[in-house]
Amino acid sequence: MKHSIKDNKFLIDMYIDTIRFGTSISFMATKLRPLLSRNFIFNIYGYLGNITGKKTDFARFMHSRQNFYKTSNPVIKFLNNKEVLVTFKNPNIVFKQRIYLENFKIEKIEEEDSLRRSKKKGGQGYTINPSINPVAGQPIVCSYYDCCRPIFFGSLMKGGKANSSYRFDLKCNHLNVLPQYRAIN
């Protein structure tokens, strides 16, 4: 007779232990087999990508993300006897898994991640710099001081004429500290 789990807390503890410390994809798949239901599906959304899959894909996908889970201490919250919220917190990213249970098996897992935005230092304002290529698809955020607001030259900066651009306007009286710009014809 096969061993069966009859305690949801034990089920969740085994699941978390497996995704955090599974040594290989095949080992993880073996450990997850008695925990996941026959019709198991997973949906993962967020900064690291979106994926939906079934039981056969789950161990391979979770093993590739294992370092994100391994470095955090999960917080488990039972919402009711059929739904559990598990939160994994890392220094830069938070993963929240909503686990749906049915007959002491995991029926469905939905995960969302969110980056923890650290406070930027070094200025009074921040802007996205379109003149620098994005890193990993994310725009470059630069700081600036109010006295030196950024101006990015490009096709949108044309002053209505084909060969115009902008320069500092040194002829104007400056009553404030902000630099003034004038279109060059």
CB atoms within 10 A of CB 28: 20
Q: Is the pLDDT of residue 181 over 60?
A: no
Least confident range of 5-9, 103-107, 180-184: 180-184
Least confident range of 13-27, 42-56, 69-83, 161-175: 161-175
State residue 160's pLDDT score.
54
Q: Is the pLDDT of residue 163 over 60?
A: no
State residue 1's pLDDT score.
35
CA distance 95 to 138: 19
> Interhelix angle for 25-32 vs 55-64, to 10°?
130
Domains of the chain: 8-115 (3.10.450.50), 125-184 (no CATH)
What are 112-156's pLDDT values in tens digits? 887 655 454 555 666 777 667 777 667 777 776 656 666 655 555
What's the whole-number mean pLDDT along residues 162-176?
A: 53
* Number of Cα atoms under 13 Å in the Cβ half of residue 152: 11
CA distance 124 to 93: 25
What would you measure as the largest C-alpha separation in the chain, in angstroms?
A: 91
Q: Who wins on pLDDT, 10 or 114?
A: 10
Residue type, 68: F
Beta bridge partner(s), residue 88 = 95
Q: Is the pLDDT of residue 157 over 60?
A: no
What are 36-93's pLDDT values in tens digits? 999 999 998 877 677 889 998 999 888 888 888 888 889 999 999 899 999 988 877 8
State residue 2's pLDDT score.
54
State residue 78's pLDDT score.
93
